[in-house]
Amino acid sequence: MEYELKVFSEARGVELLRRDAASIEAARAAVESGGFAVLSARAAAADATAAVTAGSGREFPLLLFSRELLALLGAGLPLLEALETLAEKEPAPAVRRVIDGIAERLRTGLPLSLALSDFGASFPPLYVAGIRASERSGAIPDALRRYIAYQEQVDTVRRKVGAAMIYPAVLVAAGGLVVVFLMGYVVPRFSRIYSERMTELPWLSRLLLELGRFIDANALPLLAGLALLLAFAWQARPRSGLGGLAESLALRIPVAAAQLRLYQLTRLYRSLGMLLRGGIPVSAALDLVPGLLAPELRQRLALATAAIREGQPLSQALTAHGLATGVATRLLRVGERSGQMPDMLDNIAAFHEDEIARRIDLLTRTVEPALMLFIGLAIGVIVVLMYLPIFELAGSFGS
Q: How far apart are CA 316 and CA 214, in angstroms?
A: 60
Q: How confident is the model at residue 53 (pLDDT cuts 50, 70, 90)?
A: very low
**What's the burial of 33, exposed, middle or buried (CB within 10 Å: 0-12/13-18/19+)?**
middle
Q: How far apart are CA 137 and CA 140, in angstroms?
A: 8
Report whether pLDDT(331) > 90: yes
**Poorest-confidence range of 191-205, 307-321, 355-369?**
191-205
Query: Parallel, antiparallel, or unpaired for β 37-43 and 13-20?
Result: unpaired
Phi and psi at 10, nearest 5°, equal -65, -35
DSSP E strands in the chain: the ranges are 2-9, 13-20, 37-43
**Poorest-confidence range of 58-62, 101-105, 245-249, 359-363?**
245-249
Q: How far apart are CA 49 and CA 37, in angstroms?
A: 28
Please state the domain extents for the chain.
1-45, 150-399
pLDDT of residue 337: 92
Q: Is 371 helix (H, G, I), strand (E, B) or coil?
A: helix
Q: By C-alpha distance, which of 166, 182, 203 is closest to 371?
A: 166
More confidently predicted of 85 and 10: 85
Q: How far apart are CA 6 and CA 42, in angstroms?
A: 9
CA 359, 362, 367, 370 torsion: positive or negative? Answer: negative
Question: What are the DSSP calls for 241-310, one per residue?
Answer: TTSHHHHHHHTTSHHHHHHHHHHHHHHHHHHHHHHHHTT--HHHHHHT-GGGS-HHHHHHHHHHHHHHHT
Greatest alpha-carbon pair distance for the chain in Å reads 103
Number of DSSP helices (H) and strands (E) in the chain, helices first: 18, 3
**Poorest-confidence range of 228-232, 240-244, 256-260?**
240-244
Q: What does the pLDDT average to over 178-193?
A: 83
- Residue 209: count other Cβ atoms within 10 Å of its Cβ: 22
Single-letter code of the amino acid located at 127: Y
Supply the pTM of this predicted model. 0.63
Among 163-172, 229-238, 268-277, the range with the most confident prediction by mean pLDDT is 268-277
More confidently predicted of 205 and 201: 205
Q: How far apart are CA 131 and CA 76, in angstroms?
A: 18
More confidently predicted of 201 and 87: 87
DSSP symbol at 239: H
Q: How confident is the model at residue 250 (pLDDT cuts 50, 70, 90)?
A: low
Among 23-37, 101-115, 187-201, 228-242, the range with the most confident prediction by mean pLDDT is 101-115
Q: How confident is the model at residue 12 (pLDDT cuts 50, 70, 90)?
A: low
Output b/e per residue, 70-87; b: 16+ Cβ within 10 A: bebbeeeeebeebbbbbb
Contact 79, 140 (CB under 8 A): yes
CATH number for the domain formed by residue range(s) 150-399: 1.20.81.30
